[in-house]
Structure formats: structure tokens, C-alpha cells
Structure 1
């Protein structure tokens, strides 16, 4: 393993595909900051953070050119993927300025199902036997991504750049949508309007309420459970009233399952239970409306094809190759 990690590759002078798309997203959102500058909470800080990300990207390129091997290639990719933890809550800094649209989605949900599935699901299945498996599935969202990307790195290094690009590009496609379509999800919207209105099927618009309020109440389920508390802790750190429609948890995990299936049926079989639990959990913990999760599932196949097409058109030649 150590020999493969330090196996020399062509250093090149260009950006990896995932770095290119990250810089494009960085530039697009920077332009949006400049356009919305007077209305934003801390636009100067956001622009400085983006400049720092650019500097980090080119610093890692310099490191790779000095030590061109699989390990430094992995570090360059991994850093861009880890920055998704920054880009996700960043969407809230934009969509908080626009009128919230949850009332539309809650009304659609009520019309389609005659109830709010996120409320009924957790109400009828509150025990530890449901709560813990669903929270476990939800918590394993990022570990699933990590497992599949590392699997490609170790077993199919020639495809590693492509799958990193497809994953990060898929995230960015959804993030751009979240910026323009501000939906917070039941866990934020229902406490804001009160459960008496939810139970009565009344879903009033709340305008820019979330521009001033982002409090997240504890989720439903068995609150003494180990995975319940892990999910609660992670949401307290990184969750914002943003990115509900469509569910990126369902969409990205579906894309991850496609990638796993294409490289290893056994890997896909191992991940499948976590995937099913995760999809159920998005509604169970009230992070999403059921329509969010269904659209996330369907859209995943289109987004996967779009990101793959972008890679083929723009980056068909691998940036790095093993030196003979």
C-alpha cells in the first residue's frame, strides 16, 4: 500500500477537474456576493474566505508539483471534497435574503398525501427500534461518500479524478438550486408556524423569517439513542434552514450507490442497507418533506448524467497518469 501511495505520477501544471469546477463555483458565488453586497450579513468575510480557498487550491498544486505521487493527488482531491462542508451552509447566506417557499411545499405535500408524512412517520414510529436505525443511516451519509471515493482511489485510481469531479459537481448543481429556491424543511418551518397550524393543514408564508431566525429544535425519535445524539450534534454544528428541496442526502447518496454498483457489486450490497435507512431518515427526522426526497431520488440520475457529460466534454484526458 505504501508503495502505491507514493508511486510517482506525472505532475503536470494544470488544475484537476474537481479544482476547476470548484473555482468556477467560487467565482459564480463571488459575483453573486458583489451583486447582493449591501443586503448580505458579512459579504467582506465571505469574499476573503473565498480568496483563502483559491490560495489553498494553488498551494496544494505547488505541493503536488514538488511531490507528484498518488498521495498528494489524493490530498488535492480530498481537500476540495472536504470544502463541501463550507459550501453547504454558505447557501444559507444567499437564500436567507429571499422569501421562504416552505409554505408552497408543505401545501403540495398536504394535497398529495392528505397529511404531513414527516410528522406522521415519526409520530407512529417513535421507538428506539426505528429511531436508531434511521439516525444511523442519516449519520452514515458522509462515511458512505468517503468509503466509495477511497475504494476508487485504492482499486481504480485511473477513475478517481472522474468520480471526485462528478460528486463535487453534483453537489454544486444542487447548491446553486438551493441558493435560488429557499426551502428550509419541516424541522425549521413547522416550529416557525406552530404545530397547531400544521395539524390544521394551514401553511402561511413567513417571508424572510429565516433571515433573522435559524433555531433548530431537537428532532423526533428516541432522544437517548447513540446515533440520535450524533445526528443532533452534527446538525447543531452545520445545519441551516436551507437546502430542503430537493434532498441532496437522497440525491448524492443515490449517485454514490450508482458509483459503488459500477465498480463493485459487493460494495454496493454492503452500502445498500445504509442507503435505504438514509433515504427513510430524511423524512423521519423531519429534515425534508417527502416530495423533497422523491425528487432527490429522481433528479440524481439526471444530475449524475449531466456531471459525467461535463467531465467527458471538458476533462476527457486524465490530468495525472502513472509514469512508466
Structure 2
């Protein structure tokens, strides 16, 4: 059965279409970051381009909304949900344009890893398991991040349709919470910082401040480990879409944990099937040197907080809309 054929629309939505919660959240993040662009105008490389991008996002959302009003059916409604989620690939590298306005903080996180764990886990982990088998397993887990997102969002259409809307809302809102942190917390991760200052300096216990280095340099170290299908796939993906941003807390760990909560709520067997990929994904963030180990713990803690906050907001929002729909007309 096609995905869209599984999508049902309440008849009340056809006669009185409203902005969806997922659209309101996207609008809020778009306007919030537009305000930050104005405030940081003189520090940004190309603020006009960033505002143009946001204008295009709002225009596209408006057009899709008008199409739905003209032809309110399951296809146009599904498009209204799908479009904000597809923008996640746009918003992630966009955080770099903001955090590069502030002095880099990687040296503090590298020091924290050394202080807490007595080494640099992102270097020691790969040296401990250098074999190709481990490299492929960890890189496979890291790449599984994207299919897990799709599975989490789309699976309710085939299992429990009433969970689709809250799932889509929680996923998008949690992502925006992470992105909001990344706007103001300039931490690039070991694959950038170690490459910039030199691995020898890091292993000797020296962590120099590099200021605005990543404002002008975006080179990252090659993915560690022997070459292989998933190794090369991750490396290619990072070269095309990665930026020196978004290291702490790890959204790969945090969001995949949120996704596991949602999968478990939907169908427990889905969470069990995905768990091996989740495990290797979390390990891979350190193994491929995308994150400090402290980033992983930050991701786990924020995942729990963000999941419950987003779920609470959804429940309040949906309850308010339900009461509004039941209110007598005046």
C-alpha cells in the first residue's frame, strides 16, 4: 500500500484548514533565526543570502498551504507534513553561518575529554579497534541515522496513524532545539579541531585556542579506519554536507535516542530491530572522530529532556486545538 494512500484526513480539516503545529514550529524557527541574522548582520559573511533562503522557505510553505486549501486531500496534506521535514538538510549546515561569528570552543571540550577520561577517546577508540570489520560496522551505524529518521516518521502510517502527527512534530521540534544550541555554541569536533592544530599536539596534551579559524577553513580530517563501502559512503556524505559546527551536544546521539523513544512507543519490535544500528551509531560518533566523548553524554541527557518537553508541548497544543474545535460557534 503506497505511503500516501495510508494517510487519512479528518473531514473538519478539509472545510477549515489551519496551520499545522509542524508548520508553526518551522515558522517560529525561521523568524527567530531571521532576527538573529539582523542582530549579527555585521559579523556574518552573507546575511542577504541567508534571508533570501528563509524567504524562499516561507514562500514555499505558503504555496503548499494554498494548494492544500484549493485541493484538500490526503496528498496535499501529506506534502504539508513532508516539506518541513525535508528542510532539516538545509537547516543543519545553516547553523555554521551563525556559530562562526563566535570564538571557537573546541579546546575546552578536548580538555574536558582528557580530564574526564585520561585520554582522547576519539583517537584511542579507533586505535583500539582498527580492523576493517569494526570500521564498517561503526560507519554503517553512523549512516543508518538517515534511514532511522525516515522509519520513525513514516512507520506510524502503517501501524498507528494517530501517532503520525505527534511523531513528526516531536522529531522536527527536537531537531530545532539542537540547532538552536548550535547557533551559539561553536564546537566543531575532533575531525576538524585535531586536523586544524595537528594530532601530535593533541596527543601531547596541548589544546591551543584557534579563535575564528573555522570562519576561513572548513577542511576536515579523513574518516579514520580502512576503506570500505560504508566508510567511503560516510566520508562522501561528510564531504558534501558537513560543516565545522554542531559537535556539542551530539545530535546524532540525541536525536537517535529520541527516535528510539518514538519507535518504542509506536511498536516495540521496531525499536528492538533498530537498536543494533542505534548502538553502533552512538559508538561511531566517537570512533569516526565526529564528536568528543563528552558530546555523547550531552546528547543522551538532552535527548531525554527534549523528548519530554516536545511531548508535553504536543499534548498541550493538541488539547488546546481539541477544545477549540468543540467550542460553540458565536
What's the TM-score, normalizing by structure 2?
Answer: 0.93
SS in 1 for 2:101: coil
- Structure 2 counterparts to residues 79-158 of structure 1, below 5 A: 79-158=83-162
Query: Would the alpha carbon gap of residues 153 and 13 (structure 1) be closer, same or farther in structure 2, given more than 3 Å must change?
Result: same
Does 1:175 pair with 2:179? yes
2:316 alignment counterpart: 313
Q: Are the aligned partners of 2:6 and 2:157 in contact in 1 as well (CA < 8 Å)?
A: no
SS in 2 for 1:222: coil
Alignment partners' CA distance in 2, 1:4 and 1:238: 33
1:219 alignment counterpart: 223
Using the TM superposition, give the Cα deviation of residue 7 of structure 1 relative to its aligned residue in structure 2, in angstroms: 4.8
Alignment partners' CA distance in 2, 1:6 and 1:160: 9
Does 1:51 pair with 2:55? yes
Tell me which of the two structures has the higher relative contact order, counting C-alpha pairs closer than 8 angstroms and 6 or more residues apart.
1
SS in 2 for 1:201: coil
Does 1:160 pair with 2:168? no
Does 1:286 pair with 2:289? yes
2:242 alignment counterpart: 239
SS in 1 for 2:95: helix
- Structure 2 counterparts to residues 11-26 of structure 1, below 5 A: 11=14, 12-26=16-30
Gaps of 5+ in 1: none
Using the TM superposition, give the Cα deviation of residue 66 of structure 1 relative to its aligned residue in structure 2, in angstroms: 2.8
Using the TM superposition, give the Cα deviation of residue 208 of structure 1 relative to its aligned residue in structure 2, in angstroms: 0.6
Using the TM superposition, give the Cα deviation of residue 6 of structure 1 relative to its aligned residue in structure 2, in angstroms: 6.6
Alignment partners' CA distance in 1, 2:150 and 2:259: 10
Using the TM superposition, give the Cα deviation of residue 29 of structure 1 relative to its aligned residue in structure 2, in angstroms: 0.3
1:211-235 per-position Cα deviation (integer Å, ceiling 9, x unaligned): 0111112110112x00011101110
Stretch of structure 1 that moved more, 56-65 or 210-219? 56-65
Alignment partners' CA distance in 2, 1:153 and 1:64: 20
1:175-207 per-position Cα deviation (integer Å, ceiling 9, x unaligned): 111111110000000011111111101111110
Q: Are the aligned partners of 1:5 and 1:69 in contact in 2 as well (CA < 8 Å)?
A: no
Alignment partners' CA distance in 2, 1:34 and 1:155: 44
Does 1:61 pair with 2:31? no
Alignment partners' CA distance in 2, 1:63 and 1:122: 51
Provide the aligned C-alpha RMSD in A.
Answer: 1.7
Q: Specify which of 233, 250, 255 is matched with residue 252 of structure 1.
A: 255
Stretch of structure 1 that moved more, 3-12 or 242-251? 3-12
Gaps of 5+ in 2: 326-330
2:75 alignment counterpart: 71
Query: Would the alpha carbon gap of residues 174 and 7 (structure 1) be closer, same or farther in structure 2, given more than 3 Å must change?
Result: closer
Does 1:228 pair with 2:231? yes
Q: Are the aligned partners of 1:61 and 1:76 in contact in 2 as well (CA < 8 Å)?
A: yes
Using the TM superposition, give the Cα deviation of residue 168 of structure 1 relative to its aligned residue in structure 2, in angstroms: 0.7
